[in-house]
Amino acid sequence: MRGFLGRCSAALSAGLGLILLTQLSPLVSADDTFTYVSDLVRTISLACLAIVVPLILLGLVLGYIQVAGPWGGMRTLRKSGRTQIEMGYITLFLFIITPAIFFIIMEIGKSLGGGWPQT
Amino acid sequence: MVPPLPPPLPPATENAALLGLALGFATLSLLLGFILRTLPYRGYQKAGNELIEDGFISFALISMISVIIGTFSVAAFILYGNSSMAVMYQGYYAYVTGAKNGAFVMITVIGGVLWALGMANVGVGIVAPGVQPFLPLSLTFQSQIGPWLGMVQATYSLMVALESLAHILEDKLLVLVAFGCVLYAVPKRLTRAAGGAMIAWPLVFYFGLPFMPTFVKMYGSATYHEMACTLTSCPAFDSLNPLSGNWQAILSGLLNFGALVSEDAAALIWMNFFLPLLWVGILSLAAAGVGRILGGYVSLVEQIL
């Protein structure tokens, strides 16, 4: 019941916030606010995009160093390196196929009658 | 014969910016997830998996939101007997207006009789000071139908609120749903449950509210005779017959009038206050269920990874 009421109040607050944002504020127009937030999200996304590939490659290199390093008896370190390499390749694979998955989801949505947001 | 499909929804214009923002949040979730997955700590990797999963699910929801609305629309089209939502809402507004008018007439009649008794009492008091022949009658009548007055006024207020709610939903459905998508797609599941609720509540209420007149008719009292009092005629008031000059007849007529008004008031409150509230409660439960489905966590991607 508490969760239910919490969700209701959260939805109500969000709705009221939206109404305040779009209807009642004479100083800041809703378009400006949305543009600002969208730009902020886009900038952060681009920054993430810029560092994600180097980070994946760095993880792979570190993993290979752990596996191939000159520390004969340290099995834990080698095992950790193998996990790191495995994780790095899966992440890289996911990163590469993500646009394809997005495209498939989008096409399914379109074919079922869904529209794509015209920004 | 295959029934014609419902008319398509209006093109997304007002909500496009919101859906674009939701898309940005979904992409951000994915990229943050990839970054966290590359970090050499198990906890971060789990958090990264969660973010990737959320990003994909949010993206799928944004892509399918028109499909979800369309599915609701087709279901409503079938359930409403091939009537469009606009036609259904016309019926809904007619019901709400009728209920409002009924409550208004009831308030006027009860208030008018109470006022007339009070004025008669004052008039006699002026002619013969200290004599208040209508006071016991007034008190009796007030105790008989007075309690209904507050509830009838509450019925009127409820109908006004439901009418306003329907207008808001008709005008702003797509914006509210798009805003729910934005909340849903915020990274780290910060407002996911609120987003799910924000999508579910407007959708369920938009398609569920026009069912209210049918629900009220189905479970309304069989003895209810469509508001005995209208703006042009009031059989209960006729029974009062105040011009007959026969005090005994007026007294019994007044009590009879009170009984009839009480019966009608009770029926009006049952049909236009409790049953609509019950329907709103049912819709709220349904909306909470849909919101829980949307806001729940599906760890399919996490299991695959």
Give a yes or no: residue B10 inside a domain. no
Give a yes or no: residue A116 inside a domain. no
Tell if the CB–CB gap between B18 and A95 is shorter than 8 Å: no
Give a yes or no: residue B124 inside a domain. yes
What rounded mean pLDDT belongs to chain B?
80
Give a yes or no: residue A118 inside a domain. no
- Find all residues with CB under 8 Å of A41, minimum gap 6, and list them: B21, B24, B25, B28
Residue with tokens 């808001």: B168
Tell if the CB–CB gap between A115 and B66 is shorter than 8 Å: yes
Residue with tokens 């674009």: B20
Give a yes or no: residue A117 inside a domain. no
Other C-beta atoms lying within 10 Å of the C-beta of residue B68: 18
The angle subtended at Cα B289 by Cα B284 and Cα B175, nearest 5°, is 70
d(CA B214, CA B95) in angstroms, rounded, equals: 10
At B246, the pLDDT band (50, 70, 90 cuts) reads: low
Q: What is the largest CA-CA distance in chain B?
A: 99
Predicted local confidence at residue A75, as pLDDT: 82
Whole domain around residue A38: which residue ranges? Answer: 2-111
Predicted local confidence at residue B227, as pLDDT: 44
Predicted local confidence at residue A4, as pLDDT: 64
Of B19, B31, B60, the CB nearest to A45: B31
By the CB < 8 Å criterion, does B20 face chain A?
Answer: yes
Q: Name the percent of chain B lying above pLDDT 90.
A: 25
Give a yes or no: residue B200 inside a domain. yes
The number of domains in chain A is 1
Chain B contact set for A67 (CB, 8 A): none
The average pLDDT across A54-65 equals 91
Predicted local confidence at residue A118, as pLDDT: 44
Predicted local confidence at residue B162, as pLDDT: 95
The number of domains in chain B is 1
Predicted local confidence at residue B235, as pLDDT: 57
- Find all residues with CB under 8 Å of A59, minimum gap 6, and list them: A84, A87, A88, A91, B38, B39, B40
Q: Tens digit of pLDDT for each residue in B13-33? A: 557 778 888 889 999 999 999
pTM of the model: 0.76
Predicted local confidence at residue B163, as pLDDT: 95
CA distance A110 to chain B (A): 8
At B191, list the tokens.
Answer: 């407002």
Chain A contact set for B291 (CB, 8 A): 7, 11
At A48, list the tokens.
Answer: 């993430």
Tell if the CB–CB gap between A91 and B194 is shorter than 8 Å: no
H-state helical runs in chain A: 2-19, 30-68, 75-111
CA distances from B267 to A59, B216, B229, B236, B239 (A): 73, 12, 13, 15, 19
Chain B contact set for A8 (CB, 8 A): 197, 288
At A105, the pLDDT band (50, 70, 90 cuts) reads: confident
CA distance B173 to chain A (A): 11
Q: Tens digit of pLDDT for each residue in B59-88? A: 888 888 878 888 888 888 888 777 778 888
Residue from A32, A52, A64, A101 whose CB has the most chain B CBs within 10 Å, to mutate? A52
CA distances from A107 to A101, B22, B24, B123, B296 (A): 10, 18, 18, 81, 25
Quote the radius of gyration of chain B (alpha carbons, Å).
Answer: 29
Of B31, B32, B67, the CB nearest to A114: B67
Q: Mapped to the 3 state alphabet, what secondary structure does chain B carry?
A: CCCCCCCCCCCCCCCHHHHHHHHHHHHHHHHHHHHHHHCCCHHHHHHHHHHHHHHHHHHHHHHHHHHHHHHHHHHHHHHCCCCCHHHHHHHHHHHHHHHHHHHHHHHHHHHHHHHHHHHHHHHHHHHCCCCCCCHHHHHHHHHHHHHHHHHHHHHHHHHHHHHHHHHHHHHHHHHHHHHHHHHHHCHHHCCHHHHHHHHHHHHHHHHHHHHHHHHHHHHCCCCCCCCCCCCCCCHHHHCCCCCCCCHHHHHHHHHHHHHHHHHHHHHHHHHHHHHHHHHHHHHHHHHHHHHHHHHCCCCHHHHHC
Other C-beta atoms lying within 10 Å of the C-beta of residue B85: 21
At B158, the pLDDT band (50, 70, 90 cuts) reads: very high
Tell if the CB–CB gap between B194 and A10 is shorter than 8 Å: yes
Q: Tens digit of pLDDT for each residue in B129-139? A: 777 777 777 77
Quote the radius of gyration of chain A (alpha carbons, Å).
Answer: 23
Q: Tens digit of pLDDT for each residue in B93-105? A: 999 999 999 899 8
The complex scores an ipTM of 0.74
pLDDT above 90 (res A7): no
What single DSSP character describes residue A69?
Answer: S
By the CB < 8 Å criterion, does A112 face chain B?
Answer: yes
Give a yes or no: residue B5 inside a domain. no
Whole domain around residue B122: which residue ranges? Answer: 16-304
Tell if the CB–CB gap between A14 and B24 is shorter than 8 Å: no
